[in-house]
Structure 1
Amino acid sequence: MTRKPKMPGGCTEDSTVYRVQQMIEDVHHVPGLKERMAQDLEAVFSDYGLSEEQKAALREGAPPSMLALGVHPILCMQWSLVVNEQVRNHVTVDQLYLREMEAF
């Protein structure tokens, strides 16, 4: 019997939370995905095969809702930075990261 690799949050590739976590990871790594989300978030949710419960939690963007689905806490914060302007205004990790990357 072959074991599937563990993914963030301890899920396997075939678990439903994997799709949510993969989408959140992809926001920062797939060119144009963030822009697509801004234009048609529901289409992106459909592309990832998310359930209505998952879509509702992502639309809400509140970490407690996402944690209840089993989403890893770090990915909850990443998603909050994507969808919540107030969070982006209070967390300066993006600005610090960009400044450090400019040095390279």
Structure 2
Amino acid sequence: MEKFLSGKEQVVFCVKTIRDIAVFTDKRILIADKQGLTGKKVEYYSIPYKNISTYSIETAGRLDLDSEINLTLSGGINIELKFMKDKNMDELLLRTYHLINEYIID
């Protein structure tokens, strides 16, 4: 993902979702979306924070194996990041949510 970073942005943190990788910078979210059975085909998304119109987190319940961050972008495009359930998931979700808040809310 380093090849997609600009010299004008700083990486805040990175997360590995079920199959993908999301890099949160101070300017945008970069997502590597692995596709197909082997995951060799990858689609890369660059989402400037200013293009996020709504966002939500969904925590895992007792029987759920994953949590989600849902982003709705201008133009009605929806992006869903799924996280596997683990001991640090709630902390990761809140950190991600607060980071998005920081860059969207003036």
Q: Same fold (TM over 0.5)?
A: no
- Structure with the largest fraction of helix: 1
Which is strand-richer, 1 or 2? Answer: 2
Higher relative contact order (CA 8 A, sep 6+): 1
TM-score (norm. length: structure 1): 0.29
Q: Higher Cα Rg: structure 1 or 2?
A: 1
- Normalising to structure 2: TM-score of the pair? 0.28
